[in-house]
Chain A
Amino acid sequence: MNNELLNTLNSIVANATPLVIASLGETITERAGVVNLSLNGSIILAAMVGFVAALVTNSALVGVLAAMFIGMLVALLVAAAAIELRQDQVAVGFVLTLLAADLAQFLGQSYTRIPGPQILNTPLPLLSDIPVVGPVFFRQTILVYISYALVIGLWYWLFRTRPGLAHRAIGERPAAAFARGTQVNRLRYIYTAAGGALVGLAGAAYSLSVKAGWATPPSMDGDGWIALAIVIFGGWHPFRVVLGAYLFSGLRALATVIQRTPGISIPIVLLNGVPWLLMIITLLLVSSGAIERLLRLLPRQVQGWSRNFLRSDPPAALGTRFEPE
């Protein structure tokens, strides 16, 4: 396999990583029955805060932690407004997505377009020497490795552990969860906060790695919406979500490659529309049931094993309130 292709695949994985992390974060939140629609703004604000914190302290780690904290804060606002104050989660999330983006631009105005700390690639020993797989997956930043661990860890958590049962139950049928002693609203806070922290981490992954630095307008603007769409495409299942993010990143890369191919002339501005067309198409695939029909072509045994993977229904209690008694 030639080097250029390996490099492209490597960058597809790298570019997909913030999407992976943000979508997994939102998956955690939505599996608990809460919609955090503020993703786009949260990511931007966390990216700014993460970059500035890293710049000021000259420590990428501090930047990452600050970004996670900001993401968590915004998510907790959504949770508190929904749980304590009984407000529409979509409305609060929407206001926050606009507010957070403006806040980032306003507070970050004196930090635009200056170089700052970056998280560099750390090839993993041994693993990075595996042919093909090594150069693509294991010559990446630590954030990418964290995203691998998150995928597997979240899958195990949701489908193989007892707390994972409670996690899913509060998003599916909170009354049943309550009857079994699960503290629905407290867990909803926890999972919304955890999901938000990952959204913040995704922001840091942009400003400290994938699209290093800070600029107005923010370079990652829009990706939060795409991450939300990937959660739907992914059927709220960690593996499918990751598949969606990689697919998305891959198609984006493909569009760039096609654009660069001599003999094909597509104005570069039109290329900016590709992700959004893809977003509509993927959502159409889900809503038309085409994905499920496609997956049903798999052999029966595989289907039984992968029932959770195939499901495209949102958590049944998504966006609803629960009040005990």
Chain B
Amino acid sequence: MLIEVRHIHKRFGPVHANDDISLTFPHGRIVGILGENGAGKSTLMKILSGYQSFDSGEILIDGQPVDYRGPLAAIAHGVGMLQQDPLDVAAFTVLENFVYGMPGGLRIPRRAARRRLAELTERLGFALDPEMPIAQLSIGQRQQLEIVRLLALGVKALILDEPTTGISAEQKAILFDALRQLAEHDQMTILLVSHKLEDVIALCHEVAVLRAGRLVGCRAMPATTSELVTMMFGQELPPVDRQSADVSAAPNVLTLDRLHLRGKRVTVADLSLQVKAGEVIGLAGLDGSGQELLLRACAGLLKPLHGRVIVGGEDLTGHPYRDFLRRGVAFSAAGRLEEGLIAGLTLTEHIALVTETGTLVDWERARRRTSDQIARYNVRGRPDSPVETLSGGNQQRLLMALMAEQPVLMALEQPTRGLDVDSSRWIWQQLLARRERGAAILFSSSELDELVTYSHRILVFYAGRVYPVDAARTTIDELGRLIGGHLDGA
């Protein structure tokens, strides 16, 4: 199937998200769509798959102009999209999700659907239990289900949005094999949206690069990383040095003693850890492997079943979150507007909430402080703006502004999730500045290069098991294998 887009324009208010984009995607090819956050690649793909309308331009399939509204119409034309967070229903089983949306009679044809599911999964090397609830699947498995579902609906072009975020090296290999097979054997058109250069290099036949809403380049692969980076950013980024400070003489700020933690899906047993001032510890693992349990236990948000949490020499086991906060533990969660900021409150009210300590609030002082912090953290917003009007990057900046200046320990869930390279670097500058002042950092991430770059030590989590790795000696490949469960081979 040949897909062409011609002169596509899409505006969101003042933002020109897609500015006159024309591209051709031939069948049997895997095309990478590269670009940093906000480059407009997701918008273009949502337009192609019917999730978003566009202002002007046209889409042609096999030379015929098509006009579709809604994702279902796109699927009817043979174009299906796999969202970064697969659009499935957590309360359903695999089979129910597979069947839902397919044409047919009143009754769910369980037997036939089961057969079709088995057929497709087997061909692509996937493994899915039809009776398993979606809530118990990993992101990788949910992606597999979504791909299989789209194939069953007769899709001939597959768009994948950041499919390798949050999945193991093993699952990535299975996914890539399947995609190659679909392109080469079934002659499908495959579009891979990614900001991960190694994925694009490993898989794609050609790439298109977007920057600030415009198409800035197309080329056939192979290409080197630096060539692609130059296309994406217009210049080559200087490499970041690995962290290599000697912290052996520094005092202990956190001691975990034989900790047992129970989450909804995993249990972490018998974890002991000593963290020194100025140390950065990365927590690697698939989503829900136990790393967020550790972070939350360190911040007093999760009570351990057994064991002790000692912060700065003081046993805080079982104490409430506020005691941890008072002892200098700073926690930040992955979802910013859900856990961190308060929609409906202004920037000033946020600052007042964390800085004002008396019975009465001195609003003059709070507004002054807010103006200072806005300037200092380069937040694009006014003291009286409600926080929900800030963009994601600016919300993250505000969260940094709200965080204690001199914490003892920072427990951070995916601190750079959803941010582009520049914004992530800025966040890390802020974090490392606090580290210089003696804070220890525990952070989780699904970006392996981030873990390797910034950590002194890495703890790999797999199904609640914890495996320590020396960050200075490990490689991204090794980390990928460990995350996938090869703990003993390391």
A residues lining the B interface (CB < 8 Å): 160-163, 165-166, 168-169, 172-173, 175-182, 304, 307, 311, 313, 315-316, 324-325
B91 touches A316 (CB 8 A): yes
A255 to chain B, nearest CB (A): 36
Flag if A161 contacts B107 (CB, 8 Å).
yes
Cβ < 8 Å to A, chain B residues 68-112: 70-72, 87-92, 96, 99-101, 104-108
Is A168 in contact with B52, judged by CB distance below 8 angstroms?
Answer: no
Contacting A162 at CB < 8 Å: which of B52, B89, B99? B99
Residues of chain A contacted by B108 (CB below 8 angstroms): 160-162, 165
Would A176 and B91 count as touching, CB distance under 8 A?
Answer: no
Shortest CB-to-CB span from A17 to chain B, Å, is 28
Min CB distance B146 to A, Å, is: 10
Among B360-401, those with CB < 8 Å from A are none
Cα A325 to Cα B47 in complex, Å, equals 11
What is the minimal beta-carbon distance from A292 to any residue of chain B, in angstroms?
13
One digit per residue, 1 when the CB lies within 8 angstroms of any chain A CB and 0 when it does not, for chain B 202-231 equals 000000000000000000000000000000
Contact among B70, B89, B91, B105 for A181, CB-based, below 8 A? B70
Binding site for A on B (CB under 8 A): 51-53, 70-72, 87-92, 96, 99-101, 104-108, 131, 133
Q: A162 and B105: CB pair below 8 A? A: yes
- In the bound assembly, the distance between CA atoms of A62 and B317 in angstroms comes to 66
Bound form: Cα–Cα A315–B101 in Å:
19
- Which of B71, B100, B104, B107 is A169 in contact with, Cβ under 8 Å? B100
* Contact B106–A162 (Cβ < 8 Å): yes
B200 → chain A, closest Cβ, in Å? Answer: 26
Q: Tell me whether chain B's interface is mostly helix, strand or loop, or mixed.
A: loop
Q: How far is the CB of B165 from chain A (nearest CB, A)?
A: 19
A175-B87, A179-B87, A325-B52 given; A163·B106 CB < 8 A: yes
- A324 — nearest CB in chain B belongs to which residue? B70
Interface centre among A163, A166, A168, A176 (most CB of B within 10 A): A176
Return B159 CB to nearest CB of chain A, in Å. Answer: 13
Residues in chain B near residue A325, CB distance under 8 A? 51-53
Question: Is A165 within 8 A of B100, CB to CB?
Answer: yes
Additional pairs, 13, CB under 8 Å, beyond known A168-B92, A172-B91, A181-B101? A161-B108, A162-B104, A162-B106, A165-B92, A168-B89, A169-B89, A172-B92, A177-B89, A178-B71, A179-B101, A180-B71, A180-B101, A325-B51
- A172 pairs with B89, CB closer than 8 A: yes
5 closest A-B pairs (Cβ-Cβ)?
A180-B101, A181-B72, A176-B87, A165-B100, A179-B87
Tell me, rounded to whole Å, the shortest Cβ–Cβ distance linking A157 to chain B: 9
Bound Cα distance from A179 to B99, whole angstroms: 14
Give the residues in chain B near A179, CB-CB below 8 Å: 51, 71-72, 87, 101
Question: What separation, in Å, do the CA atoms of A173 and B101 have in the docked complex?
Answer: 14
Give 13 pairs: A residue, B residue, CB < 8 Å, sorted on A: A161-B106, A162-B99, A162-B100, A162-B105, A163-B106, A165-B108, A169-B89, A172-B92, A173-B88, A179-B72, A313-B91, A325-B52, A325-B53
Q: Is the CB of A173 within 8 A of B89?
A: yes
Q: In the complex, what's the smallest C-beta–C-beta distance from A103 to chain B, in angstroms?
A: 34
Task: Check B89 against A176 for contact (C-beta < 8 Å).
Answer: yes
Distance A313 CA – B96 CA, assembled complex (angstroms): 19
Give the CA-CA distance A175 to B108 in the complex, in Å. Answer: 22
User: B74 CB to closest chain A CB, in angstroms?
Assistant: 10
Most A C-beta atoms less than 10 A away, residue of B71, B101, B133? B101
Bound state CA distance, A304 and B136, in angstroms?
A: 13
The chain B residue sitting closest to A165, CB to CB, is B100
Are A165 and B51 CB-contacts (below 8 A) given A179-B71, A316-B90? no
Residue in B101, B104, B133 whose beta carbon sits within 8 Å of that of A307 in the complex: B133
Min CB gap B93→A, angstroms: 8
Asked if A304 and B131 make an inter-chain contact with CB atoms under 8 angstroms apart, the answer reads yes
Most buried by A among B53, B96, B131: B96
Residues of the A chain whose Cβ atoms lie less than 8 Å from the Cβ of B88 = 173, 176
Instruction: Give the most central of A163, A166, A179, A180: most B CB within 10 Å.
Output: A179
Which residue from chain B places its CB closest to the CB of A157 in the assembled complex? B106
A160 CB contacts on chain B under 8 angstroms:
107-108
Question: Which A residues touch B92, using CB under 8 A?
Answer: 165, 168-169, 172
CB-CB under 8 A from A180, the residues of chain B are 71-72, 100-101
The reply to whether A165 and B96 contact each other, CB–CB distance below 8 Å, is: yes
Residue of A whose beta carbon sits closest to that of B76: A181
Closest to B91 in A: A172
A304 closest partner in B (C-beta): B131
A305 to B97, CA, bound (A): 17
**Complex: how many Å from CA A180 to CA B75?**
9
Q: Which residues of A contact B53 (CB under 8 A)?
A: 325
Residue numbers in A under 8 Å from B87 (CB-CB): 173, 175-176, 179
Q: A168-B92, A169-B89, A173-B90 are known contacts. Are A162 and B133 too (CB-CB below 8 A)?
A: no
Find the A residue at minimum CB distance from B88. A176
In the complex formed, the residue of B with least CB distance to A180 is B101
Most chain-B Cβ atoms within 10 A of its Cβ — which of A175, A181, A311? A181
CB distance from B108 to the nearest CB of A (A): 6
Shortest Cβ distance from residue A8 to the other chain B in the assembled complex, whole angstroms: 38
- Report B-chain residues with C-beta under 8 Å of the C-beta of A315: 91
Residues of A within 8 A of B72 (CB): 179-181
Contacts of A178 in B (CB 8 A): 70-71
CB distance from B409 to the nearest CB of A (A): 32
Contacts of B91 in A (CB 8 A): 168, 172, 311, 313, 315-316
Q: Kindly list chain A residues whose C-beta atoms are within 8 Å of the C-beta of B52.
A: 325
- Complex contacts, A162 vs chain B, CB 8 Å: 99-100, 104-108
* Residues A166 and B51 in contact, CB atoms below 8 Å apart: no
Measured in the bound complex, the distance between the Cα atoms of B72 and A173 in whole Å is 16
- B residues in contact with A169, CB < 8 Å: 89, 92, 100
Contacts of A307 in B (CB 8 A): 133
A166 touches B106 (CB 8 A): no
CA distance A18 to B90 in the complex (A): 33
CA distance A13 to B45 in the complex (A): 57
**In the complex, what residues of A have CB within 8 A of residue B89's CB?**
168-169, 172-173, 176-177
How far apart are the CA atoms of A179 and B88 in the complex, in Å?
9
A172 near B90 with CB under 8 A, answer yes
A175–B66 Cα distance when bound, in Å, is 24
Complex Cα gap A118–B71 (Å) = 52
Residues of B within 8 Å of A165, CB to CB, are 92, 96, 99-100, 108
CA–CA, A177 to B483, complex, Å?
33
Residues of A within 8 A of B131 (CB): 304
Give bound CA distance, A313 to B91, whole Å. 10
Cα–Cα, bound, A175→B71 (Å): 11
